[in-house]
Amino acid sequence: MPAQTLAQKLLAAASGRAAVRVGEILTCKVDLAMFHDSSGPRRLKPMLEELGTGLWDRSKVVLVMDHYVPEADDESRRIVRIARDWAREQALPHVYDSMGICHVVVPEHGHIRPGMFCVGGDSHSPTGGAFGAYMFGVGSTEMLGVVASGEIWMRVPDTLMMRWNGRLAAGLTAKDMMLHMIGRFGMNGGRYQAIEFCGEAVRALSMQERMTLSNMSAELGAQAGLVAPDDTTAQYLRQAGAADFDVTPWQSDADAQAQWHEFDATALEPQVAAPHSPANAAPVHAYGNTPVQVAYIGACTGAKLDDLRAAARVLRGRRIAAGVSLMVAPASQRDQAAAEAEGVLPALLQAGATLLPTTCGACSGYGGSIPEDVNVVSTTARNFKGRMGAASARVYLASPYTVAASALAGRIADPREVLA
């Protein structure tokens, strides 16, 4: 049997094959279909009714209400009502209403396990790849085919191996790793290939940090962002209540064909991406004199428990600068409760933060949206013009450490200076 990458092994399993070749077209059976209030029922319900068909397997569907909650206007109420009514009509067993962001809530409830083949109705669905599953985002028409048939066709992609050697220094995170890679390769750097993150630095990351890597493979233009599962994966999944998984088969063969890129984690500096693209990334000192009026700690790439802990390490016992608004929107209710119990959330609030709901919020331009004509330093994944609400806002992307340090300084700042 030819040597296979992790991506090839996952697609082979999904298509009932022993091995697959790059470029082959496959029909894959779907283990999980995830969508949210924005991408799901309001679009799928009328199309399914027109087809006259139902869901292929309700137990493999997960619905999350995270974009339009809490409902701020009549349109939001309409969209969320459609989702809730449809969930009841279909008797869906896996519905998470206002419990957090889908890319965090779904894995923390043990739905994604090594070896699975999953699709999501959101561009950041590659998050699932952190668990050794093949997961990617699809549009509503493709999702219609999935929920009606349980299958989808795939072209086997090339694999890019991103190997990070060494260990990250204090004050650096997976977000810095991703911004550096996006700055180096651009937003089409993955060309809809599969990316696998590997090396000592990746192995040293927590699961939540690995989720950030896989999530932002979308910003690299990749279809999937994978991390081979290990003991860290297994421990997280056991705590999440997942059963029936095995991490051992899901590793790339040493001699599998792939394109390799090497990185030195020990030399990495905190990264900042300037408006209006994540590809505008550079070391933090390139933007050190940029004043900020808003600091935002939120989204699936910047407000998980590990992210909140990082921000608290910078802010504990200090106050944010005058004239700066610091907004914190935890990624899930579970992470918010843990942050409260650990004293992390109190430290952020005592520093002057305002607590927002555990939803997508300002990341996608909804609740707690950003005002006009301000500089924002944010833990979100994207800084496109108007993405966070006001078209005139200028959004700089950074890690939770850097966002917290910038809130203290009133300008974009190097968190290592505070931590030292």
pLDDT at position 388 = 78
| DSSP strand pairing (95-97 vs 259-264) | unpaired
* Dihedral over Cα of 179, 307, 135, 102: its sign: negative
Is there a contact between 202 and 181 (Cβ–Cβ < 8 Å)? Answer: no
Alpha carbon 413 to chain centroid distance? 24
* Distance between CA atoms of residues 9 and 249, nearest Å: 9
The 3-state secondary structure of 202-265 reads HHCCCHHHHHHHHHHHHHHCCCEEECCCCHHHHHHHHHCCCCCCCCCCCCCCCCCCCEEEEEEH
Residue that is written with structure tokens 């070391």 in the block? 283
Q: Among residues 41, 222, 44, which one has the least CA distance to residue 127?
A: 222
Alpha carbon 276 to chain centroid distance? 19
Question: Span 133-150, mean pLDDT?
Answer: 96
Give percent of the chain with pLDDT exceeding 90: 90
**Burial zone of 65 (CB within 10 Å; 0-12 exposed, 13-18 middle, 19+ buried):** buried
Q: Do domains 6-264 and 272-417 have the same CATH topology?
A: yes
pLDDT at position 141 = 93
β-bridge mates for residue 328, sequence order? 297, 355
Q: Which amino acid is at 110?
A: G
* Distance between CA atoms of residues 238 and 225, nearest Å: 22
Give percent of the chain with pLDDT exceeding 70: 99
Per DSSP (E only), the strands in 94-227 are 95-97, 117-120, 134-137, 151-155, 159-165, 194-198, 224-226
Task: Enter the tokens of residue 146.
Answer: 């999935």
β-bridge mates for residue 137, sequence order? 120
pLDDT at position 368 = 54
| pLDDT tens per residue across span 35-82 | 999 989 999 999 999 999 999 999 999 999 999 999 989 999 999 999
* Distance between CA atoms of residues 116 and 31, nearest Å: 6
pLDDT at position 23 = 97
Q: Which residue has the higher pLDDT, 243 or 375?
A: 375
Give the sheet arrangement for strand 194-198, strand by strand. Answer: 224-226, 194-198, 159-165, 259-264
What is the DSSP annotation of 260-319?
Answer: EEEEEGGG---EEE-TT-TT-EEEGGGGTT-B-SEEEEESTTT-SHHHHHHHHHHHTT--
| DSSP strand pairing (259-264 vs 271-273) | unpaired
Domain range list for the chain: 6-264, 272-417
* Distance between CA atoms of residues 204 and 218, nearest Å: 22
First vs last C-alpha separation in the chain: 52
pLDDT at position 191 = 80
pLDDT at position 243 = 84
Q: Which residue has the higher pLDDT, 107 or 244?
A: 107
| pLDDT tens per residue across span 239-290 | 999 988 899 999 999 999 999 999 999 999 999 999 999 999 999 999 988 9
pLDDT at position 255 = 96
The region that residue 28 occupies, defined by phi over 0 for left and psi between -120 and 50 for alpha, beta otherwise, is beta
Q: Among residues 81, 62, 61, which one has the least CA distance to residue 71?
A: 81
CA angle 86, 95, 68 (to 5 degrees): 75
Give the sheet arrangement for strand 354-355, strand by strand. Answer: 281-283, 271-273, 394-397, 375-378, 294-298, 325-329, 354-355
Residue that is written with structure tokens 């070749």 in the block? 21
Entry pTM: 0.96
Q: Which fold has domain 272-417?
A: Aconitase; domain 3 (3.30.499)
| pLDDT tens per residue across span 322-361 | 999 999 999 999 999 999 999 999 999 999 999 998 988 8
Question: Span 306-332, mean pLDDT?
Answer: 97
Task: Enter the tokens of residue 155.
Answer: 């072209």
Question: Span 150-165, mean pLDDT?
Answer: 98
pLDDT at position 364 = 76
Give the sheet arrangement for strand 117-120, strand by strand. Answer: 95-97, 61-65, 32-36, 117-120, 134-137
pLDDT mean across residues, the chain: 95
The helix (H) or strand (E) run that includes residue 375 is strand 375-378
The band of 303, judged by pLDDT with boundaries at 50, 70 and 90, is very high
* Distance between CA atoms of residues 169 and 322, nearest Å: 30
| CATH architecture assignment, domain 6-264 | 2-Layer Sandwich (3.30)
| DSSP strand pairing (134-137 vs 151-155) | unpaired
Dihedral angle computed from the Cα positions of residues 328, 96, 395 and 418, in that order, rounded to the nearest 10 degrees: 40
Q: Which amino acid is at 172?
A: L
Task: Enter the tokens of residue 16.
Answer: 């009932």
| pLDDT tens per residue across span 108-134 | 999 999 999 999 999 999 999 999 999
pLDDT at position 257 = 96
The band of 383, judged by pLDDT with boundaries at 50, 70 and 90, is confident
